[in-house]
């Protein structure tokens, strides 16, 4: 699918971007061009040590910010596919610096849309988050707005051959700022800090997240939000998996934090269909024949009261399963 194409990844030096680029270089070594677009020169330098242009001549490293429309337009020259992963995503930082979050996550998203429309891009997949479903914090609200922008962009494409779709999933295992690296660090001190013992979270590996995006590029119609079916865990089970001998210290829920994560709300159910490995929130406006989409994809409409959250999720990871995943995807040397 990606042979002889050119791809740009915004936020390309982040956890997802690095894994996506590694995967694409492995699966599609004949790819024409792979542009890493991000604003952190140090991370680009470090990434270039792993993927040097001398060995990977397909790679280009572009310093730039999605807030800068002119720079985006320059980087997008002759690009076929865009993966939009750039975002300000730290919840406390967004609460304290709200408009900075808005400028990157909302205005930056619109900049990506407009430059893609003007630049001849064919496909755009934007990464979303569980926090965009029924948002209770500013980060989630900005990502919900971003999702709406990318879905609605299909209304203004005119005769351009371009599609915009969204992929939404929960916590990425071992990503920067996530709870597992924190627990692995804290266990040496004899205690783990948890916000609430009832808390549950979705869990997805970087590899799975990349695979979902690649699959979306193949089958997207434009305007859908793809939500993969992934397991959940109880925060106390994760604590048991990482450090069974440590004490748990409750610190209370942080501002803007949910007890359980949601990816599809009851309000979304009317437009949601179920496939074998994922749910798809269809666009509320008529962009194409919904019945045809359902027939082609062998999808089933969800019930009106359907919701997809980490607490009611039937797929729950056990302590032993969590330990295996930690060794495979976070710390190969992890032992109890």
- Report the greatest alpha carbon distance in the chain: 62
Mean pLDDT of 258-275: 96
Angle, CA of 67, 72 and 76, to the nearest 5°: 155
- pLDDT for 54 beyond 70: yes
Band (pLDDT 50/70/90 cuts) for residue 171 is: confident
In the three-class reduction of DSSP (H, G, I as helix; E, B as strand; rest coil), residue 34 is classed as strand
Considering only residues 256 and 48, tell me which one the structure prediction assigns the higher pLDDT: 48
pLDDT at 147: 98
**Given strand 33-38, what is the order of strands in its sheet?**
59-63, 33-38, 6-10, 81-84, 123-127, 163-167, 225-228, 278-281, 272-274, 300-301
Mean pLDDT of 132-140: 95
pLDDT at 53: 87
Segment among 2-16, 143-157, 223-237, 267-281 with least mean pLDDT? 2-16
Band (pLDDT 50/70/90 cuts) for residue 336 is: confident
Please, what is the average pLDDT of the chain?
94
- pLDDT for 138 beyond 70: yes
- Of 165, 163, 166, 184, the residue nearest 174 (C-alpha): 184
pLDDT at 252: 86
pLDDT at 287: 93
Pull the structure tokens for residue 25: 């270089």
- Of 16, 36, 39, the residue nearest 103 (C-alpha): 39
CA distance 166 to 149: 10
302-335: per-residue pLDDT in tens?
A: 999 999 999 999 999 999 999 999 999 999 999 9
- Of 7, 176, 143, the residue nearest 83 (C-alpha): 7
CA distance 195 to 260: 12
Active-site position among 89, 123, 131, 143: 131
Residue 149: which residues within 8 A CB-CB, separation 6 or more?
106, 109, 110, 113
- pLDDT for 192 beyond 80: yes
204-239: per-residue pLDDT in tens?
A: 999 999 999 999 999 999 999 999 999 999 999 999
In the chain, what are the domains?
A: 6-170+204-229+265-308 (3.40.50.720)
Tell me, yes or no, if 131 is annotated catalytic. Answer: yes
- Of 11, 109, 127, 36, the residue nearest 67 (C-alpha): 109
Pairing of strands 272-274, 278-281: antiparallel
Site of tokens 């990816």: 263
CA distance 172 to 90: 14
Cα-atom radius of gyration of the chain, to the nearest Å?
Answer: 20
pLDDT at 255: 74
């Amino acid at each position: 699918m990606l042979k002889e194409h050119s791809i740009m990844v915004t936020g390309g030096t982040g956890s997802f971007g690095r894994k996506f680029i590694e995967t694409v270089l492995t699966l599609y070594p004949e790819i024409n061009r792979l542009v890493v677009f991000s604003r952190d020169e140090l991370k680009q330098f470090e990434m270039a040590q792993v993927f040097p242009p001398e060995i990977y001549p397909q790679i280009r490293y572009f310093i730039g910010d999605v807030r800068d429309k002119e720079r985006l337009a320059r980087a997008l020259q002759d690009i076929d596919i865009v993966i939009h992963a750039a975002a300000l995503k730290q919840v406390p930082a967004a609460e304290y610096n709200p408009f900075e979050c808005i400028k990157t996550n909302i205005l930056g998203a619109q900049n990506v849309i407009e430059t893609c429309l003007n630049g001849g891009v064919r496909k755009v997949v934007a990464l979303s988050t569980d926090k965009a479903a029924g948002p209770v914090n500013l980060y989630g609200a900005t990502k919900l707005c971003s999702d709406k922008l990318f879905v609605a962009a299909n209304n203004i494409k005119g005769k351009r051959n371009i599609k915009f779709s969204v992929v939404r999933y929960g916590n990425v295992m071992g990503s920067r700022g996530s709870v597992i690296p924190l627990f692995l660090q804290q266990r040496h001190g004899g205690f783990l800090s948890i916000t609430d013992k009832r808390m549950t979270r979705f869990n997805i590996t970087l590899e799975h997240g990349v695979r979902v995006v690649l699959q979306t590029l193949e089958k997207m119609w434009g305007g859908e939000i793809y939500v993969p079916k992934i397991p959940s865990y109880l925060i106390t089970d994760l604590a048991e998996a990482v450090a069974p001998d440590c004490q748990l210290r409750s610190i209370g829920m942080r501002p803007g934090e949910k007890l359980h994560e949601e990816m599809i709300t009851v309000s979304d159910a009317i437009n949601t269909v179920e496939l074998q490995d994922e749910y798809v929130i269809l666009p509320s406006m008529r962009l194409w024949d919904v019945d045809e989409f359902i027939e082609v994809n062998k999808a089933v409409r969800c019930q009106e009261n359907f919701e997809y959250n980490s607490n009611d999720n039937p797929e729950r990871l056990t302590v032993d399963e969590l330990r295996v995943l930690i060794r495979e995807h976070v710390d190969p040397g992890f032992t109890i």
